[in-house]
Amino acid sequence: MVFTYVLRSKKDRLWYTGSTEDLRKRFLLHNSNKIVSTKGRGPFELIYYEACLNDHDARIREKYLKSGPGKRYLRNRLKRFLSLTG
């Protein structure tokens, strides 16, 4: 399995979307400032993830979730969660 995931920074409330084969390890790396693209923006909370069968599918899904329609999909999907957490 390959995971496509969305993190939200507790510092600036911005989202980061990525993909990985080891979600737990990748989450720890983000929170340890070892990922260049999110360094200095942590700590993070995992707000969404999906499992894909292979890396190709996960990358396509990641690209979609970063697009305008993908962001709308996530906001609608997480509407209740986002209203509870601010």
**What pLDDT score does 39 carry?**
94
Domains located in the chain, CATH noted: 2-85 (3.40.1440)
Question: What percent of the chain has a predicted confidence (pLDDT) above 90?
Answer: 91
d(CA 77, CA 51): 16
pTM: 0.91
Tens of pLDDT, residue by residue over 37-60, are 999 999 999 999 999 999 999 999
d(CA 7, CA 86): 15
The stretches in the chain having pLDDT less than 70 are 84-86
d(CA 69, CA 74): 9
